[in-house]
Chains A and B, each alone.
Chain A
Amino acid sequence: MPNLPVSLVFFMLVGISLFFYFYSKNNILKKAAFVGQRSKALPSHYGQQSFLWAFIPSAIILLFLTIGGPNYIDQLFYNKIQELNPKLNPSFVSLILAKVINVSNGKIAAGDEKILTLASDYKAALDQLYFYRGLVVILCAALVGMFVSSLQSPRANARENVEKFIINIFFVSAVIAIFTTGAIILSLLFEALRFFSLYNFFDFIFGLHWAPNVAIRSDQVAAAGSFGMIPVLVGTLLISFIAMCVAIPIGLFSAIYLAEFASPRTRDFVKPTLEILAGIPTVVYGYFAALTAAPFFREIGFSLGLDVSSESALAAGAVMGIMIIPFISSLSDDVIRAVPQSLRDGSMGLGATKAETIYNVVLPAAVPGLVGAVLLAVSRAIGETMIVVMAAGLSASLTVNPLDSVTTVTVQIVSLLTGDTEFDDIKTLSAFGLGLALFFFTLLLNIFALSISRRLAERYD
Chain B
Amino acid sequence: MIRKSIKSRRARETRLKIYGITSICFALIMLATLLISIGLNGYSALQQAYFKVDISVNMDKLVDESGTINKNKMNLFNWDGLVKSTLREFFPEVKERDEKKELFAIISANAGYDLKEIVKKKALGSGSHTLSVWLHLSDDADQYLKGRLSIDIPEEDRRINNKQIAWVNSLVERDIAKLKFNKTFFTSADSREPESAGILGSVVGSALTLFVTVMFALPLAVMASIYLEYFAKPGRITDFIEVNVNNLAAVPSIVFGLLGLSVFLSTFGLPRSAPLVGGLVLGLMTLPTIVIASRASIRSIPPSIREAALGLGASKMQAAMHHVLPLAAPGILTGTIIGMAQALGETAPLLMIGMVAFIIDIPTTFTSSATAMPVQIYMWSDSAERAFYERSSLAILFLVAFLISMNLLAVMLRKKFEKKW
Contacts and interface: CB of A to CB of B under 8 A. Distances in A.
Contact of B223 (A173, A389, A442): A173
B253 A180 contact: no
A354 interface: yes
A276 B392 CA distance: 20
Given A159-B315, A273-B31, A283 B345 contact: yes
B215 interface: no
Contact of A383 (B245, B255, B266, B393): B255
Nearest to A184: B259
A37 interface: no
B297 to A, nearest CB: 16
A390 B247 contact: no
B141 interface: no
Interface in A354-405: 354-356, 358-359, 376, 379-380, 382-386, 389-390
A104 to B, nearest CB: 15
A446 interface: yes
Interface stretch (B68-76, B125-133, B284-292): B284-292
Given A167-B231, A254-B27, A414-B351, A286 B378 contact: yes
Contacts of B258: 184, 187-188, 413, 417, 431-432, 435
B250 A180 contact: no
B107 interface: no
A326 B27 contact: yes
B223 A169 contact: yes
A356 B34 contact: no
Contacts of B219: 173
Nearest to A454: B246
B367 to A, nearest CB: 10
Given A74-B269, A414-B351, A183 B381 contact: no
A253 interface: yes
Contacts of B308: none
A285 B23 CA distance: 19
A234 to B, nearest CB: 18
Contacts of B41: 291
Contact of A423 (B266, B287, B352): B266
A174 B10 contact: no
Given A67-B268, A187-B262, A438 B255 contact: yes
Interface stretch (A134-142, A143-151, A256-264): A256-264
Given A170-B224, A276-B404, A287-B381, A446 B247 contact: yes
Contacts of A358: 16
B12 interface: yes
A232 interface: no
B22 to A, nearest CB: 7
Contacts of B345: 279-284
B359 to A, nearest CB: 14
| Range for the number of chain A residues in contact with chain B | 35 or more
A129 interface: no
A452 B126 CA distance: 79
Contact of B241 (A160, A178, A423, A439): A178
B102 interface: no
Contact of A292 (B37, B240, B284, B377): B37
Interface stretch (B54-62, B80-88, B159-167, B395-403): B395-403
Contacts of B24: 254, 257-258, 270, 274
B255 A184 contact: yes
A281 B231 contact: no
B23 to A, nearest CB: 4
B251 A322 contact: no
A439 B257 CA distance: 12
Interface string A20-52: 000000000000000000000000000000000
B378 A354 contact: no
B227 A283 contact: no
A172 B346 CA distance: 27
Interface residues of B, number: 90
Contact of B389 (A291, A376, A449): A291
Contacts of B261: 417
Nearest to B258: A435
Interface in A276-303: 276-277, 279-288, 290-292
B403 A171 contact: no
Contacts of B259: 180, 183-184, 187-188
A257 to B, nearest CB: 2
Contact of B317 (A167, A176, A353): A167
Contacts of A57: none
A213 to B, nearest CB: 21
A326 B30 CA distance: 12
A405 B259 CA distance: 29
A280 B389 CA distance: 18
B317 A163 contact: yes
A431 B257 CA distance: 12
A158 to B, nearest CB: 12
A274 B27 contact: yes
Nearest to B10: A353
A311 interface: no
Interface in A409-460: 410, 413-414, 417-418, 423, 431-432, 435, 438-439, 442-443, 446-447, 449-450
A176 B284 CA distance: 9
A347 to B, nearest CB: 13
Interface in B203-255: 219-221, 223-224, 226-228, 231-232, 240-241, 243-248, 250-255
B255 A435 contact: yes
Nearest to B320: A170
Nearest to B365: A7
A107 B420 CA distance: 60
Given A187-B263, A190-B262, A446-B250, A273 B28 contact: yes
B223 A386 contact: no
Interface string B1-42: 000000001101101110111111011101100100110010
A284 B9 contact: no
Contacts of A413: 254, 258, 352
A69 to B, nearest CB: 10
A388 to B, nearest CB: 10
B252 A384 contact: yes
B227 A174 contact: yes
Pick from B254, B345, B400 the residue with the most CB of A within 10 Å.
Answer: B254
A166 B248 CA distance: 25
A399 to B, nearest CB: 24
A79 interface: no
B251 A383 contact: yes
Contact of B253 (A251, A256, A383, A418): A383
B399 to A, nearest CB: 7
Contacts of A188: 255, 258-259, 262
Interface of B: 9-10, 12-13, 15-17, 19-24, 26-28, 30-31, 34, 37-38, 41, 219-221, 223-224, 226-228, 231-232, 240-241, 243-248, 250-256, 258-259, 261-263, 266-270, 284, 287-288, 291, 315-317, 341, 344-348, 351-352, 354, 356, 374-375, 377-378, 381-382, 389, 392-393, 396, 399-400, 403-404, 407, 411
22 contacts: A159-B315, A167-B227, A173-B223, A177-B244, A178-B240, A188-B258, A253-B20, A276-B407, A279-B403, A280-B345, A283-B378, A285-B34, A287-B396, A290-B381, A385-B252, A385-B351, A413-B254, A417-B258, A435-B254, A439-B251, A439-B252, A446-B247
Given A178-B241, A279-B404, 16 more contacts: A67-B270, A70-B269, A176-B220, A176-B224, A177-B241, A180-B248, A181-B244, A258-B24, A283-B378, A383-B251, A384-B252, A414-B352, A417-B351, A435-B254, A435-B258, A450-B246
